Amino acid sequence: MSNISIEGKVNQIIQQAIALRVTDVHICPRKSSYLLQYRKTNELLFDEEIPIDVAERMVNHLKFISALDVSERRIPQSGAIQFSDLNTSLRVSTLPLTLGTESLVIRILSSDDVLHVDNLSIFPESLTILKKLMSTSNGLILLTGPTGSGKTTTMYSMMRYCVEELNRHIITIEDPVEKRDERFVQVQVNEAAGITYSTGLKAILRHDPDVIMLGEIRDRDTAMIAVRAGLSGHLVLSTLHAKNTKSAITRLKEFGIKPLEIEQAVIGITAQRLVTTNGSSIKYSKEKTILYEILSDKNLQEYLVSGNAKELLTLPHQLTNALTKGFISKEEYLRWTYEE
């Protein structure tokens, strides 16, 4: 470390993470040092121990270049860094711990990871539905799933499909902007400047968009505006924290969205899981594929009316199908079926 600067050390770590194709970098304090760990394929891998003074300077440097308050250690913060020469964006988040220390996690967001929509999943019928939804001129499409389930990849792939195949004008509002793409008009949430999801969405509606991408529906106000935008002639794409497609309907109701508004505005809901594949047997993906549960068309209408959707291909069904066809291992199947 004596022969390399703090900036150089940070760049070295990031370049190594990109080369190893990891999803996250963890810099976590311990009693006498910090641990540097990488997350790859759902495993947290130890890399090295870093002296406290060096690690704290690294954390401060990362906070500075992600436009965070370097002196603030009492509250969580999040920001973003763009490495244009590496075609990669980083999402940086800090978490305050005891005794004035903080943990820092870097999410690696490579633009190269944005797949063509036809390569998102091993099941073509899911992709056909996604493209049909994106071809609609108005309505609300919701993506649900846990962190690391491929929602960002799906969202950007769908938007690129809209631009490349449908010639749509897309405006996004994100916190932070996940992947820079000059084909979209991208707005960064900046609460200090008064740009929230709610206020930003109101401004976007006056900017003649065909498609609006809203990073996340977090509260009642944002949910209300997203629904109204979907009802007023815009296609709105967003994410929502929910276990599955049916739970997303419940979440909207909890935000105060009326059943009639849901019926009129929502055109599709996906729940998804990013699974590790038996790469040798799959022509679509070397390591990962996304399995989708998609509630749309008659299944959506049936569920809204009766609370049931008999023909819905649920995530458990998709997992079983993938296992039966040899696309995933028994271990991978069991890793995901416990929650369903």
Could you tell me which CATH class the domain 114-337 is placed in? alpha beta
Instruction: Tell me what the mean pLDDT of segment 120-148 comes to.
Output: 95
What is the SS3 assignment for 334? Answer: helix
Instruction: Specify the residue for token string 């820092």.
Output: 104
- The Cα–Cα gap between 285 and 33 comes to 39
* Cα within 13 Å of Cα(182), Cβ side: 2
If one compares 5 and 283, the residue with the highest pLDDT of the two is 5
| CA–CA–CA angle 161, 14, 22 (5° rounding) | 60
Q: Please check the confidence at residue 308 and state whether its pLDDT lies above 50.
A: yes
pLDDT tens for residues 252-288? Answer: 999 999 999 999 999 999 999 999 888 654 444 457 8
Dihedral, CA of residue 200, residue 132, residue 89 and residue 178, to nearest 10: 30
CATH annotation of 6-110: 3.30.450.90
The pLDDT confidence band at residue 49, using thresholds 50, 70 and 90, is very high
Instruction: Tell me what the mean pLDDT of segment 174-182 comes to.
Output: 84
- Location of each CATH 3.40.50.300 domain in the chain: 114-337
- Location of each CATH 3.30.450.90 domain in the chain: 6-110
DSSP secondary-structure letter at 217?
A: -
Outline where DSSP puts E strands in the chain. 24-29, 34-40, 43-50, 77-83, 88-96, 102-110, 139-144, 170-174, 185-188, 211-214, 235-240, 266-276, 288-296
Mean pLDDT for the chain overall? 90
- The Cα–Cα gap between 255 and 216 comes to 13
pLDDT tens for residues 180-230? Answer: 888 999 999 888 899 998 899 889 999 999 999 999 998 998 899 899 999
Q: What is the pLDDT of residue 238?
A: 97
The pLDDT confidence band at residue 235, using thresholds 50, 70 and 90, is very high
